[in-house]
């Protein structure tokens, strides 16, 4: 069988390339021209880039086979995520791989700027000896303001605590618990942080909200002699405002690894002796590059194999450990979604998903997407996957609602319930996990079902009277179909038979089952 193909258009570690080769046909084209890439992209199932290759509408529209785009690095500035999402293309990056390296570079630049290390090094190597021009400042006892308490910001906080610093942080998108975990005092506004900090370091993504967020106004509010560090993205600290603050003495020193325009040549900031600069080295360690290469290779391989992977940009953010907890519930939700169109043909107006118990504290958005993927895969010929399922549902006019309850319902520690509303054919499905962690459908339209969503399952309604179930099961036996499990539930004067069988049920057998006296409806569910 031919292997799936991946093209790598920029340099990644050899360890990553070798891992790709174990599963895929790899075409390594570092530095390929734009024109050539556009001509051949339709031949590949996956694309791996760094920061140069532009993955835009033009490119993905020609990548008719593309299923995964991997960014070997943290940002996604060069990838049109919306264009990929509409086509069901997974976009993954490696935000964890360079976290340690970026945090250490932050500390390195901070210490270098406080102690004039780079300037003193050049002075001494030029044949001079004098300590007086380079009297520095200690980190101990200083108040460090961290803007952005995500992966890297929290690592910086941890390291600076060991220097005896007071840590304050501003991040409106992070829960209070995270501030407490990393020993940071939460500041409700950026202005509050700027007024108190002796040192300001930024660790946010670059977007419309964060571009220039440290500018002339913030420098005016800051303490005289404040120090700043930027190892995140160029432009988060406004360079023009920083130049003016350095000239006035408002800013005592700066450590910069990133710039508004890169490559940076003749940048006005380079003229200042109290500014330490490096050419975007935050992730450039041997260890980080090895991790980046291996991690992006792992993600691309799993994505092409149909597995869910962490760090998918166009899915809810889920950490590796969280994904392991969610994985069986993802399988459950997808199986629940696949039931509706196998039993009903009416169009859907809305779907209400509720999550009760401990599962309500997890990232249930991924379970909603899994449900929609199972639902729509039954009726759509075009590709539906976890990436574009929500978009496809909305295009069909399906409204989606979610509800969480941090309490047990109906005696189940965790319960997922889907209510599907249409035009007179509403359906309710509830599921949980068995003690062994297997998906288990426990209720279908008010009937207790005990349905394992595996293989072929016959669902039949019948009158609640003697002489129906026997002929029904006999008919299956006469057709050579073995019953592996059967459950009968009653509601009013109606029974629901749920019968798991070991082989497919042909149309002739279905016709005979439907003709059994007292049987009112027979449908066959097929699960992956």
Tokens of 7: 């093209």
Q: Report the Cα 453 to chain-centroid distance in Å.
A: 26
Phi then psi for residue 84, to 5 deg, are -70, -40
CA distances from 483 to 137, 448, 526 (A): 79, 19, 15
- 472: part of which helix (H) or strand (E)? helix 469-478
- Does the annotation mark 116 as catalytic? no
CA distances from 347 to 6, 137, 373, 423, 507 (A): 38, 69, 16, 7, 25
Burial 251-269 (b: 16+ CB within 10 A, else e): bbbbbbbbbbeeebeebeb
- Does the annotation mark 280 as catalytic? yes
- 440: part of which helix (H) or strand (E)? strand 439-444
| CB proximity list for 466: less than 8 A, separation 6 or greater | none
Phi then psi for residue 320, to 5 deg, are -55, -45
- Residue in the block written with tokens 């002699």: 225
Q: Report the Cα 122 to chain-centroid distance in Å.
A: 45
* Helix residue ranges per DSSP H, 437-506: 469-478
> How many whole angstroms separate alpha carbon 470 and alpha carbon 427?
28
User: Among 340, 346, 403, 421, which residue's Cα sits nearest to residue 373?
Assistant: 340
Decide: 232 and 206 in contact? Cβ < 8 Å. yes
> How many whole angstroms separate alpha carbon 333 and alpha carbon 144?
45
Considering the candidates 36, 180, 261, 262, report the single residue annotated as catalytic: 262
**Helix/strand/coil for 416:** strand
Tokens of 21: 């080769």
CA distances from 100 to 81, 157, 191 (A): 26, 12, 28
Q: Which residues pair with 418 in a beta bridge?
A: 353, 429
> How many whole angstroms separate alpha carbon 236 and alpha carbon 227?
15
Phi then psi for residue 347, to 5 deg, are -65, 155
| Count, residues in the chain | 528
> How many whole angstroms separate alpha carbon 357 and alpha carbon 404?
8
> How many whole angstroms separate alpha carbon 434 and alpha carbon 438?
5
Decide: 457 and 524 in contact? Cβ < 8 Å. yes
- 369: part of which helix (H) or strand (E)? helix 365-377
Considering the candidates 233, 291, 334, 390, report the single residue annotated as catalytic: 233
Considering the candidates 50, 87, 280, 291, report the single residue annotated as catalytic: 280
Q: Which residues are catalytic?
A: 233, 262, 280
């Amino acid at each position: 069988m031919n292997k799936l193909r991946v093209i790598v258009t920029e340099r990644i570690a050899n360890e990553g390339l070798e891992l790709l080769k174990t599963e895929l046909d790899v075409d390594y084209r570092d530095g390929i021209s734009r024109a050539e890439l556009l001509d051949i992209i339709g031949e590949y199932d996956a694309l791996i880039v760094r920061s140069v290759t532009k993955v835009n509408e033009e490119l993905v529209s020609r990548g008719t086979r593309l299923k995964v785009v991997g960014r070997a690095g943290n940002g996604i500035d060069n990838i049109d995520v919306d264009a990929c999402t509409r086509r069901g293309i997974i976009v993954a990056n490696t935000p964890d791989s360079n976290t340690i390296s970026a945090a250490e570079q932050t500390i390195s630049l901070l210490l270098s700027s406080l102690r004039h290390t780079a300037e003193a090094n050049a002075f001494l190597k030029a044949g001079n000896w004098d300590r007086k021009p380079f009297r520095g400042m200690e980190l101990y006892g200083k108040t460090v303001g961290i803007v952005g308490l995500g992966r890297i910001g929290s690592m910086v906080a941890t390291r600076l605590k060991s220097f005896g610093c007071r840590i304050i942080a501003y991040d409106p998108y992070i829960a209070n618990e995270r501030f407490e975990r990393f020993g940071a005092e939460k500041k409700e506004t950026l202005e509050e942080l700027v007024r108190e900090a002796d040192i300001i370091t930024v660790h946010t993504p670059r977007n419309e909200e964060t571009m220039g967020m440290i500018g002339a106004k913030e420098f005016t509010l800051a303490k005289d002699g404040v120090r700043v560090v930027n190892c995140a993205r160029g432009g988060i600290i406004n360079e023009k405002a920083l130049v003016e603050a350095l000239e006035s003495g408002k800013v005592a020193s700066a450590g910069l690894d990133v710039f508004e325009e890169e490559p940076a040549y003749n940048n006005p900031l380079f003229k200042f002796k109290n500014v330490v600069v490096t050419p975007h080295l935050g992730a450039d360690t041997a260890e980080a590059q090895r991790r980046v290469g291996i991690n992006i290779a792992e993600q691309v391989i799993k994505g092409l194999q149909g597995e869910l992977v962490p760090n998918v940009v166009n899915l809810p953010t889920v950490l590796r450990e969280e994904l392991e907890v969610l994985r069986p519930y993802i399988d459950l939700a997808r199986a629940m979604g696949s039931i509706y169109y196998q039993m009903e043909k009416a169009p859907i107006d809305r779907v209400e998903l509720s999550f009760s118990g401990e599962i309500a504290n997890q990232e249930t958005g991924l379970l909603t997407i899994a449900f929609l993927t199972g639902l729509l895969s039954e009726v759509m010929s075009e590709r539906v996957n976890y990436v574009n399922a929500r978009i496809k549902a909305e295009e069909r006019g399906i409204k989606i609602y979610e509800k969480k309850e941090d309490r047990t319902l109906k005696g189940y520690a965790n319960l997922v319930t889907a209510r599907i509303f249409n035009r007179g054919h509403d359906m309710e499905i509830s599921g949980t996990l068995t003690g062994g962690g297997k998906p288990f459908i426990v209720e279908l339209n008010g009937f207790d079902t005990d349905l394992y969503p595996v293989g072929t399952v016959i669902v039949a309604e019948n009158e609640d009277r003697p002489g129906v179930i026997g002929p029904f099961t006999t008919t299956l036996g006469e057709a050579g179909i073995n019953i592996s499990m059967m459950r009968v539930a009653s509601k009013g004067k109606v029974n629901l038979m749920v019968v798991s069988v070991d082989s497919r049920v042909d149309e002739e057998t279905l016709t005979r089952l439907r003709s059994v006296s007292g049987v009112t409806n027979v449908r066959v569910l097929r699960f992956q």
